[in-house]
Structure 1
């Protein structure tokens, strides 16, 4: 798990996408890892407060990405990689 945490903490979308495609980690596991970090660091005791909203559908979308991958329908090298954007 330490290797997976290091991979996810690196923020390399290509490396995370490759790990998801190789079955080393699922899109749902990656999503849960990032959601946990948001809760602990952004909205937790450190109260960084840099994430305005979190999609209610994040877990559902990750599950769909995993199902598509299992069916051989990956949408590209970033398939299933969780991301955030600024608006």
Structure 2
């Protein structure tokens, strides 16, 4: 596959909109997601791509917590979700 990839508009637009502000806040105040966000925008300077990537990580975290019937434990859960990203 050659050329630029683009952010897909497929999927539930309500969920995309609902995750935007939490992703924005997480990319500023959560140290692990901030590092992840900064790494993304270093490669692709469009900040919206970084926010979309953080939103995806948050969605995976939410899914993992729901699937395993777990409560959120601040930094530990983000690290586990980052490890699980490759599985989904």
TM (norm. structure 2) is 0.32
Greater relative contact order (Cα < 8 A, sep 6+) = 1
TM (norm. structure 1) is 0.32
